[in-house]
Structure 1
Amino acid sequence: MSSAPDLSPEFLAADVHGKLQDAGIAFIVITTVIYFLFNVSRISCAERNGWEFWVLYPISYFLQLVLGIICILFVQYGGAGRHAQYWLIHDPVVLENFAKIQTADEFIYVAGVTVPKVCILIMYLNIFVERKVRIATWIVIAVVIANWFIIGIIVTFTICQPFAYKWDKSIPGGHCADLLASYRWISIPNILTDLAIIFLPFSTLYRLHTTRVRKIGILLTFLTGGLGIITAILRLVGFFTLDLFSDPTFFGVETQILTLVEPNAYFICSCLPGMRPLVRTVFEKSGLTTAVSRYYHSMRTGSRTTRHDQSGISLEVPRGYYKASVSAPKETRPGSANDDDATLIRMDKSYQVAYSPV
């Protein structure tokens, strides 16, 4: 707590609750819009949806929604934004409400980080066919779930004895472990699993036989799953630079915003790849796909070579090795125009093309 000389009228009048309340409302709106577009994309444009679409994604969205509501509750009932000394003077019960809301927030935060990560990893399983990569993905899923069970349930329930001592310091014989350390180091497992999410697709992508442009596009799609690492690092730094328990209701505004942003970032990242069918459909209907294709084709005409056979058929081939075949229309034997059995498919020519830079 701050010393007595700091309790000036200006100090007690300080109030930054607007930042936390605005952040809560903003992410409720942003997450809802993203989730709505994700559902539109998957239901109307995608060929099929797995069980995770019907189970994990709704749970994940609900958790993000609760985190946004908790930010508002922090302001309305927990006194977030004002200095703790203000509430000690005017209404000490508010500090108890703050600790209760903070306890609920811890449970929701860990679950809110875990579920969207599992969604991203299940997306990997639906894409990867390489055995080693699939095994590694299952291992990461197990680590993510184990982290939630250990930190989100066991540690949260046992860090204070009895459990209610976390908000009621009047309980005789009650004690808590280092709460600030637990808030700080909880981000480390998140960062490590984020790194695994980022690097898992690399080996598969490296072996993928496609153009460099398409590889970059696929890589960017996968990297969206690891963008949560940025918010995890910011949250870790935030808890190291702020002494939360010296003034919980005031400093808690900054740390709670970071605690809100991190799981929401994971959720948004888990939804973005699933929105590709909707984006593709919008592009096709708007005619932008045709325009881009024509532009891309015109840019590449200089790197293609055209070969003509004696029938005047054009074969455009980029550098590399390709197999191509040229077929003629159906040919009917004379005198058997109405006999389907007499219809033949005549293969005029087949080509084995080995086109090199030379």
Structure 2
Amino acid sequence: MISVTDMGAVGDGVTDDTAAVQAALDSAGRGDTVLLPAGRTFVQTRVLTVANAGVTVTGGGTLLATQESDSSLTVTAADVTISGITLDISSTSRRWDAYEQQRLRLDGASRVVVRDVVVDGSAAAGVYVGGGTSDFLLDRVTVQNTRADGIHITQGSHDGQVLSPVVRNVGDDGVAVVSYRQDGDPCARIRVVSPSVNGSTGGRGVSVVGGTDVDVTGLDVRNTYGAAVYLAAEGNWGTTGVARVRVSGGTIVNANSATGIDHGSVLVYNGTTDQTVQDITVTGLTVSGYRATVSRVLGLIADSAASPGIRSVTLSAITITGDSRPAALVSNQGATTFTAAGVLRNGGALVRTGGYFR
């Protein structure tokens, strides 16, 4: 056990403890535990890095970043566990997007475990999983008050699990899997279980924007800026396509509060001319609460006639309540590209008229 106080950290929330905390992280080897003692707040003024494999960081204490431009705790080594600590930030003035501003960043490491960690405030994403990080576990992580996504998984990161995350009041997506073509292979084999997302000032609740073999189960998404569930390939952001994504079981309430976008509660979307969105299943959802001017609850939309479009989508066992708009489901895709079975609105089955299901 190596306590950061042994390295000179004070933990009074005022003294700059960056050097002492980094010294403790650097001195720890495989099997060692670095302690941030409970009840203390350690001020961090620059990026801290866990660069030694097999280290555990725990103790119940708080790391308070006071410089938003250099506020990250970054993990670059394998077999690291971050457990039971709080990552706070004194204030943020705007949304940042560099690595140094992702409050907790996993960078290309394998078998990292983040458990019972609270991220309260971030100049960018709360938890950023990038650099091809593999075999990772985010377990009971709470993220709130971020400028960007709550949890952002990208850069080909793969074979990971996100279990029971709680995301509140974030600036963009709650839990996002995002794959950009420039990064090579898409994110793959990601499992998200029981995500709870409530409140966003931008973005969507749970999103897969480029990625393969992603499974989301037992969601509870409320009060989002855009769609609660968003499965898409985006041309303007240069993302890959989407394949073999399953969203099953859960509740959606009051999605798409923003009047400037028309997502609805669930949107399957292709905004590219050369990528496919295919093999999608959305099932077992209960949906309620709608902005009066949103045009639909469920959507399957491709922007371009030249697009490969949306293929092999199944919508099933979806219960829509309290909806009186002209169409509950809108699609500009051919009837053979998707099936809608057991989708009920206000207790009745949908009736199709062209691309509109009333």
Shorter-normalised TM range: under 0.3
Structure index of larger Rg = 1
Which structure: greater strand fraction?
2
TM value normalised by structure 2:
0.16
